[in-house]
C-alpha cells in the first residue's frame, strides 16, 4: 500500500470519528431542549431546602461480629461505624455500656454469657433532630461448638 | 504464485518439525533441590488453605434459636422471634442435648425437651432445615427500648411504648438492676425508681416465661436516659 493511501485512510477514519462524536453530543442536547418538564421547575430545589441531605452523616453499622455468630470466649469485640459525637447505648442481659463516640469508628469489648446473648446497640446522634438508630445482635457463647 | 505457496508451506513444515520435540518432552522425576523447594511450597500452600478454611468456618459458624412449637420422633420444629420456622432433624448418634443453667451446662436427653422450650440449635443448615449437632435449652431474653408513657409509683410499674409501637407493662422488682445516664458525664450510674419520669427513654431486659400475661413483664434490668438529655 502506498504511503499516500495510508495517510488518506487514517485521515478518513479520524474525520468520521469526529463527525460521529459531534452528532452524538448535539443529539443529546437537542433531546433535552425538546422534552417538557412535567414537575414545577423549583420543586426539586424546594425539597432540597426543606430536607437537607446529610451526605456526611455516618449511619450506625456493625462490622463485627456477625449476627448469629458462635463464640467460645467470655467476651467479644464489637466494631462498627457511627456518627462522631453520638451517644452509644449497648445492652444485653449480662452487660451495659454507655459512651460517646469520639470518632466515626468504634471498638469495645463486651461480656457474653453461656447460651444466647441478645445485644441491642442504639446510637443517639448529637443532632437531636436525627432519629436514633438501632441494631440487634444475637451472639451464641457455646464453648463446645468451636 | 505456485512456487510462493510451496515455499510458505515448506517454511511452515520446518517450523513445526523444530517445535514438536519440545512438546513431546515430559518432566523427568528428580530429587533436585528445586523439587524439594516445590514440595515445601505445596505443603505451605496446603497449610494456608487449611487455616483459611478453619477461619471461614469459625466466621460462618452460626446458630439458630427459637421456641419449640412441635416435637415428633426424629424431629422438632422451632419458631424464631422473627416468626421463621425451622425443621430440626435429630440424629440418635450425632445430636447432643444440653440445658444451660446460669454459667454451666448440663447434658440432658431428647425426652427432656418440651414444646415451649427455647432452643439454640447448631448444625448443618439447608434453607429452613437443620440437621442438629447440638441443641441447648436456654432462657429466652428480650432486650428492648422505648419511651415511658406512665409511671405507677404505688405498684412500681412502668408503661412503655417501644420503638416498634408496642405497649408494655414493666414490673420493677426489688431485684431489678436500675441505672440512669448522667447527662453531665454521659455515664451510667446506679439509680432508683423515684427518679424515673414519664417521657424518659428506657432500655430494658426482660425474660419471657410462658405463663406471663401478654404485654406484661418483670424487668431484669433497666437503663434510663432522662428526657433532659435530649433538650441539651
pLDDT in tens, B134-192: 999 999 999 999 999 999 999 999 999 999 899 999 999 999 999 999 999 999 999 99
In chain B, residues with a C-beta closer than 8 Å to the C-beta of A126 are: none
Which residue stretches of A42-146 are H helix? 43-50
Q: How far apart are CA A67 and CA A53, in angstroms?
A: 30
Q: Which residues lie below 8 Å from residue B108, measured CB to CB, with a gap of 6+?
A: B97, B98, B99, B137
- Say what the pLDDT of residue B14 is: 53
State the smallest CA–CA distance between residue A22 and chain B in angstroms: 47
Q: Is the pTM of this model over 0.80?
A: no
Count the helices and strands in chain A (H runs, E runs).
2, 8
Look at A70 and B187 and tell me if their CB atoms are within 8 Å: no
- Say what the pLDDT of residue A139 is: 95
Decide if B229 touches A, using CB distance below 8 A: yes
Instruction: Tell me the average pLDDT across B44-72.
Output: 79
pLDDT in tens, B62-75: 789 999 999 999 99
Per-residue pLDDT of chain A (146 residues; tens, 9 = 90+): 678 888 888 888 888 888 888 888 777 666 655 554 444 444 444 444 455 556 688 999 999 999 989 999 999 999 999 999 999 999 999 999 999 999 999 999 999 999 999 999 999 999 988 999 999 999 999 876 54
Look at B62 and A134 and tell me if their CB atoms are within 8 Å: no
- Residue whose C-alpha cell is 494456608: B48
State the smallest CA–CA distance between residue B170 and chain A in angstroms: 16
pLDDT in tens, B191-211: 999 999 999 999 999 986 545
Q: Encode chain B in three state secondary structure.
A: CHHHHHHHHHHHHHHHHHHHHHHHCCCCCCCCHHHHHHHHHHHHHHHHHHHHHHHHHHHHCECEEEEEEEEECCEEEEECCCCCEEEEECCCCCCEEEEEECCEEEECCHHHCCCCCEEEEEEEEECCEEEEEEEEEECCEEEEEEEEEEEECCCCEEEEEECCCCEEEEECCCCCEEEEEECCCCEEEECCHHHCCCCCEEEEEEECCCCCCCCEEEEEEEEEECHHHHHC
What residues does B154 pair with on adjacent strands? none
Instruction: Tell me the average pLDDT across B205-227.
Output: 83
- Say what the pLDDT of residue A24 is: 81
Q: How far apart are CA A106 and CA A80, in angstroms?
A: 5
Cβ neighbours of B223 (radius 10 Å): 23
Task: Return the domain boundaries, chain B.
Answer: 59-138, 142-231
- Say what the pLDDT of residue B21 is: 45
CATH of span B59-138: 2.40.50.140
Q: Which residue of B has its CA nearest to A146?
A: B58
Confidence of residue B32 (pLDDT cuts 50, 70, 90): low
Cβ pair A141, A107 in contact under 8 A: no
What residues does A22 pair with on adjacent strands? none
Please, which residues 102-121 of chain A have a Cβ atom closer than 8 Å to chain B? Answer: 113-116, 118-120
DSSP state of A69: B
**Matching CATH topology for B59-138 and B142-231?**
yes
Q: How crowded is the C-beta side of A61, counted as CA atoms within 13 Å?
A: 10
DSSP state of A83: -
Collapse the DSSP code of A20 into the 3-class scheme (helix H, G, I; strand E, B; otherwise coil) and give the result: helix
Q: Which residue of A has its CA nearest to B232?
A: A128
Q: Which CATH number fits domain B142-231: 2.60.40.1930, 3.40.50.620, 2.40.50.320, 2.60.40.10?
A: 2.40.50.320
Q: To the nearest whole number, what is the mean pLDDT of chain B?
A: 84
Q: How far apart are CA B216 and CA B207, in angstroms?
A: 11
In chain A, residues with a C-beta closer than 8 Å to the C-beta of B64 are: 68
- Say what the pLDDT of residue A39 is: 46
Decide if A134 touches B, using CB distance below 8 A: yes
Please, which residues 72-101 of chain A have a Cβ atom closer than 8 Å to chain B? Answer: 87, 89, 91-93, 96, 98-100
Amino acid at each position: 500500500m502506498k504511503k499516500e493511501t495510508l495517510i488518506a485512510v487514517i485521515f478518513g477514519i479520524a474525520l468520521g470519528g469526529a463527525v460521529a462524536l459531534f452528532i452524538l453530543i448535539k443529539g443529546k442536547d437537542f433531546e433535552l431542549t425538546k422534552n417538557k418538564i412535567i414537575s414545577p421547575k423549583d420543586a426539586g430545589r424546594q425539597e432540597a431546602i426543606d430536607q437537607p441531605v446529610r451526605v456526611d452523616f455516618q449511619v450506625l453499622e456493625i462490622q463485627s461480629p456477625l449476627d448469629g455468630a458462635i463464640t467460645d470466649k467470655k467476651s467479644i469485640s464489637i466494631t462498627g461505624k457511627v456518627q462522631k459525637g453520638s451517644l452509644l447505648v449497648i445492652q444485653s442481659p449480662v452487660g451495659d455500656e454507655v459512651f460517646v463516640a469520639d470518632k466515626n469508628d468504634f471498638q469495645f469489648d463486651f461480656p457474653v454469657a453461656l447460651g444466647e446473648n441478645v445485644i441491642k446497640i442504639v446510637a443517639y446522634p448529637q443532632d437531636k433532630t436525627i432519629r436514633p438508630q438501632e441494631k440487634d445482635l444475637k451472639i451464641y457463647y457455646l464453648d463446645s461448638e468451636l | 504464485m505456485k512456487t510462493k505457496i510451496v515455499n510458505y508451506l515448506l517454511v511452515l513444515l520446518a517450523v513445526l518439525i523444530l517445535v514438536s520435540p519440545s512438546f513431546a518432552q515430559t518432566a523427568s522425576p528428580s530429587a533436585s533441590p528445586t523439587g524439594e523447594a516445590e514440595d515445601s511450597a505445596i505443603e505451605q500452600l496446603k497449610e494456608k488453605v487449611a487455616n483459611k478454611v478453619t477461619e471461614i468456618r469459625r466466621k460462618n459458624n452460626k446458630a439458630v434459636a427459637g421456641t419449640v412449637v412441635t416435637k415428633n420422633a426424629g424431629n422438632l420444629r422451632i419458631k424464631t422471634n422473627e416468626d421463621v420456622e425451622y425443621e430440626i432433624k435429630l440424629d440418635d448418634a450425632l445430636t447432643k442435648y444440653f440445658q444451660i443453667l446460669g454459667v454451666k451446662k448440663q447434658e440432658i436427653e431428647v425426652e427432656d425437651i418440651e414444646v415451649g422450650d427455647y432452643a439454640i440449635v447448631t448444625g448443618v443448615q439447608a434453607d429452613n432445615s437443620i440437621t442438629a449437632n447440638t441443641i441447648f435449652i436456654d432462657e429466652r431474653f428480650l432486650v428492648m427500648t422505648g419511651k415511658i408513657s406512665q409511671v405507677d409509683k404505688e405498684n412500681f410499674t412502668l408503661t412503655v411504648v417501644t420503638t416498634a409501637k408496642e405497649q408494655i407493662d414493666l414490673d420493677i422488682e426489688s431485684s431489678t438492676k436500675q441505672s440512669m445516664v448522667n447527662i453531665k458525664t454521659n455515664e451510667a450510674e446506679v439509680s432508683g425508681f423515684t427518679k424515673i419520669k414519664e417521657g424518659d427513654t428506657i432500655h430494658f431486659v426482660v425474660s419471657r416465661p410462658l405463663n406471663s400475661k401478654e404485654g406484661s413483664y418483670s424487668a431484669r434490668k433497666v437503663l434510663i436516659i432522662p428526657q433532659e438529655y435530649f433538650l441539651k
